[in-house]
Amino acid sequence: MRNGLHVQCNIRPLAVAVLCASALCLAPACSAIDAQVGDLVADCSDADSAPGATVSFKDQIRPLFSGLAPGVKGCNTCHYPGVGTQAGLAQSGLDLSSLGALRKGGRVTGDAIVVPGRPCSSGIVKKLRGVAPGARMPKDGPFWTPEQIQLVKDWIAEGARGEATE
């Protein structure tokens, strides 16, 4: 009994010291991460970067999603249940193989996946920029260039138009 008490007394200061040390170490790391995410959120503009031109879903956006555009990792291996190369996956319930299916969104984004006129509030843009919960897309990278993401943002800023079958 005496021995037990003795051990407890010795452990307590040690535990306090460890807790304090980890809090001190973690605090700066957390604020650095907060600042980074804050920058990314603040850094988003809903404005169309090229108001004179119209972005075509079929010709410019779809090849990025389908992985057919050269030098870009598409979404087809994980979000193309109909024609997927890997047993037709629709990860998180999301099917990007047609514009109609895309507009339904996934389990988390729902129809907020594309909010016409508001790219920064659109779930798909948040996932591409890495400011949504879960993994940045395309999962495991390589991630899209700012220009490729801007194309999707411009398409949404212009009203996210296109036929459901595209």
DSSP 139-156: TTSPPPPHHHHHHHHHHH
- Determine, following the binding rule CB under 6 A, whether residue 107 of this chain makes contact with ligand HEC: yes
Residue 85 structure tokens = 């190369």
**In the chain, what is the straight-line distance between the N-terminal and C-terminal CA atoms, in Å?**
77
Span from 22-30, 34-42, 46-54, 133-141 in contact with ligand HEC (CB under 6 A):
133-141
DSSP character at residue 133? S
CA 7 – CA 4 distance, rounded (Å): 5
Nearer CB in complex with ligand HEC: 48/78:
78
Which one of residues 91, 98, 118, 158 is an interface residue with ligand HEC (CB under 6 A)? 91
CA 128 – CA 146 distance, rounded (Å): 10
Span from 24-32, 34-42, 51-59, 126-134 in contact with ligand HEC (CB under 6 A):
126-134
Nearest approach, Cβ of residue 37 and ligand HEC (Å): 16
Nearer CB in complex with ligand HEC: 44/108:
108
Nearest approach, Cβ of residue 46 and ligand HEC (Å): 18
